[in-house]
Amino acid sequence: MSTASLISHGKLARMVEISRVLNSKSDIDDLLTYIIREAAALTESEAASILLLDRKTRQLRFKAASQMQPEMIDMPVPLSNSIAGAIITNNRPLIIDDVGKDPRWNPDVSQAIEFRTRSILGVPMHDMDRPVGVLEALNKQEGNFTYEDVETLAILADLAGVAVERARLIEELRQANTELNELDQTKSSFIALASHELRTPLSVILGYVSFLRDEATLETAEQLDYVMTAAIRLRSLIQDMLNFQYTAAGENKLNLKQVDCVEMLQEIVDSRDETAIAKQQSITINLPAAKIPVFVDMGMIEVVINNLLGNAIKFTPQGGHIEIALSTKADEVWFTVSDDGIGIPSDKLERIFTRFYQVEDHMRRHYEGMGLGLAIAKELVELHHGRIWVENKQPKGSKFFVALPLAPPT
Ligand code: ADP
C-alpha cells in the first residue's frame, strides 16, 4: 500500500483548499494562526503549535500555539535535549504517546500555558529541502496518533514551510523598503535645506561681483568675469536642487491653467538663447502657426523644457545644432528637443531618468550637473499624466520627447 493512499479523499480535498488559503496570505501572524488551527483539526487533536528555526542563534522559537500566552512568543527551545530539537535535527516525524515518559519533554511550556500535554505528533517543516521549523499536534482526542496523521501533518508542514518563508521574505522586503524610504526622505530634506542655505550667500556674491565688474579696470574685469561665470553655474546647480525639492513626494500641487503651448515654448527658448550663443550653437524652433491650448502647470512645464534644453546645450559641442519642435499627435501635444551632441548609449536610454544617474563616471566628468534634471522632468510630466522618453538620433545626438494630453484633466 502506498503512503499517499493512507490519507482519506476528504482530507486531501481539504489540503487543496488549505494550500489555496496559504498562498493567499502574506501576513505571518495570520498564517501561523491559520496553520495551527488546521493542524489541530486535520489530526483531530486538542491543540497545535509551531516553532521556527532562528537562523542566527540556531535555536527553535515558539511562534504560535493554540493557547498561546504573550510571554511564550519567541521562547527559545534548544536543539539538543528537546522533542522539537530531535524532530528538526533528525529531520523526521516523531510520535510520543505519553510525554511524561520522555526525558526530552520540558514541562515548563505546559505549565506556562496551563495546558496539560499528554501526547505529541511533531513533523519538520521545510522550505524546498531546507528545514525551517517544527509543527506539532498535541493530545489526539481519541486514541493515539496514526500514520494517516503523520502523513497529513507532514504535507501540511511542507505547504506551511513554503508559505511562512515567503511571508518572512515579504516582511523583510517591507522593512527594507521602509528603511529606504526613510533614507530617501533624509536625503530630500538635506537637499532642501542645503539649497536654501546656499542660495542667500550666492545672491550676495553675484550682487557684489556684478557691482565690482561695472567699476573694474579692463584687467580685473576679465578676472571678475570668471568669478561671475562660476557663480552663475553654481546658481544653476542650486536651481536643480530647489526643483528637486519641488517634486519631493506628496508635495506636488498642480496649479493648472489653460495656456497656449506655442507661445510658452517660444518664450522659454528666447530666454535661454544666451548659453547657446556662447557656445556658437544654432537653435531651430519649429512651431505650428495655430495656437495649441493645453491645461498645465506652467511653472512645472517650464522646468521640464528648460532641463531638456539646458542638457541639449550642455551635451552638444561648440557650433552644434539644436532643434525644438511642437506638434499635435492624436489627443496629445508632443514637444521634442533634439541635438547633434554626444548622444546616449542605447542601454542607458531609460536609466538617465533615474535620480542622480549620469552616464559619465563621476570621477572623470567633463560636464557639470547633479543628475537630477531628467528625474525631475519625468516626475513633473507624469504629474500631468504625460510621458517622457528619449531616442538616439542618426548619425549622432539624441532626441527627447514629451507627450502631454490635450484634454483638460477630469
Ligand atoms: P545632469 O544633466 O545634471 O547630469 P540630468 O538628469 O539632466 O542630469 O541628465 C542625466 C544624464 O543624462 C546626464 O548626466 C547625461 O549623461 C545624460 N543626458 C541628458 N541629456 C543628454 C543629452 N541631450 N545628450 C547626451 N546625454 C544626455
Distance CA 64, CA 36 (A): 7
pLDDT average, residue stretch 5-25:
88
pLDDT tens-digit profile of 348-383?
999 999 988 899 877 777 787 888 899 989 989 998
More confident residue, 156 or 73: 156
Count the neighbouring beta carbons within 10 Å of the beta carbon of residue 262: 17
Q: Which atom of ligand 1 is nearest to the CA of 374?
A: 6
Residues 337 and 400 sit within 8 Å (Cβ to Cβ): yes
Q: At what angle do helices 218-246 and 373-383 cross, to 10 degrees?
A: 40
- Determine what percent of the chain is predicted with pLDDT higher than 90: 54
pLDDT of the residue at 247:
67
**CA terminus-to-terminus distance, the chain:** 68
Nearest CA to ligand 1 atom 20: 311
pLDDT score recorded for residue 153 = 96
The CA 48 to ligand 1 mean position distance, Å, reads 60
**Is the CB of 333 within 6 Å of ligand 1?**
no
The reported pLDDT for the residue numbered 5 is 58
Question: H/E/C letters for each residue in the chain?
Answer: CCCHHHCCHHHHHHHHHHHHHHHHCCCHHHHHHHHHHHHHHHCCEEEEEEEEEECCCCEEEEEEECCCCHHHCCCEECCCCCHHHHHHHHCCCEEECCHHHCCCCCHHHHHHCCCCCCCEEEEEEEECCEEEEEEEEEEECCCCCCHHHHHHHHHHHHHHHHHHHHHHHHHHHHHHHHHHHHHHHHHHHHHHHHHHHHHHHHHHHHHHHHHHHHHCCHHHHHHHHHHHHHHHHHHHHHHHHHHHHHCCCCCCCCCCEEEEHHHHHHHHHHHHHHHHHHCCCEEEEECCCCCCEEEECHHHHHHHHHHHHHHHHHCCCCCCEEEEEEEEECCEEEEEEEECCCCCCHHHCCHHHCCCCCCCCHHHCCCCCCCCHHHHHHHHHHHCCCEEEEEECCCCCEEEEEEEECCCCC
Ligand 1 nearest-atom number relative to CA 343:
25
Q: Give pLDDT, residue 312.
A: 94
CA 376 to ligand 1 centroid distance, Å? 12
d(CA 346, CA 361): 17
Alpha carbons 123 and 201: distance in angstroms, whole number: 70
Q: What is the pLDDT of residue 123?
A: 97
Nearest in space to 290 (alpha carbons), one of 263, 257, 256: 263
% of residues, the chain, pLDDT over 70: 94
pLDDT tens, 175-230? 999 999 899 888 888 888 888 888 889 989 988 998 998 888 988 998 998 888 88
C-alpha to C-alpha distance for 77 and 81, rounded to whole angstroms: 9
Q: Assess whether the C-beta atom of 254 lies below 6 angstroms from ligand 1.
A: no
255 alpha carbon – ligand 1 mean position (Å): 27
Ligand 1 atom nearest the C-alpha of 353 is: 6
Q: Over the chain, what is the mean pLDDT?
A: 88
Ligand 1 pocket: which of 313, 344, 379 to mutate (most atoms <8 Å of CB)? 344
Is any atom of ligand 1 closer than 6 Å to the C-beta of 355? no
pLDDT band at 1 (very low <50, low <70, confident <90, very high): very low
Label residue 2 by pLDDT band (50, 70, 90): very low
Confidence of residue 3 (pLDDT cuts 50, 70, 90): very low
Identify the CA nearest to 320 among candidates 285, 286, 280, 284: 280
Task: Name the pLDDT band for 233 (thresholds 50, 70, 90).
Answer: confident
For residue 74, how far is its CA from the centre of ligand 1 (angstroms)?
A: 52
User: Is residue 54 pLDDT above 80, yes or no?
Assistant: yes
- Find the mean pLDDT for residues 92-96: 96
Half-sphere exposure in the Cβ direction for 319 (13 Å, CA): 0
The per-residue pLDDT for 112 is 66
Distance in Å, CA 358 to ligand 1 centroid: 6
pLDDT of residue 360: 84
Ligand 1 within 6 A of CB of 93: no
Q: How far apart are the CA of 306 and the centre of ligand 1, in A? A: 13
Q: Is the pLDDT of residue 244 over 90?
A: no
Q: Rg of the Cα trace of the chain?
A: 34
Ligand 1 contact via 202 beta carbon (within 6 Å)? no
CB of 306 closer than 6 A to ligand 1?
no
Span 297-319, average pLDDT: 91
For 110-159, the pLDDT digits (tens) are: 666 678 899 999 999 998 888 999 999 999 999 999 999 999 999 999 99
Query: How far is residue 372 from each of residues 91, 150, 306, measured CA to CA in Å?
Result: 54, 60, 13
Q: Which of 228-242, 306-320, 396-410 is least confident?
A: 228-242
Determine if ligand 1 sits within 6 Å of the CB of residue 397. no
Contact 332, 404 (CB under 8 A): yes
Cα–Cα distance measured from residue 301 to residue 296, given in angstroms and rounded to the nearest whole number: 7
pLDDT at 317 over 50: yes
pLDDT of residue 259: 93
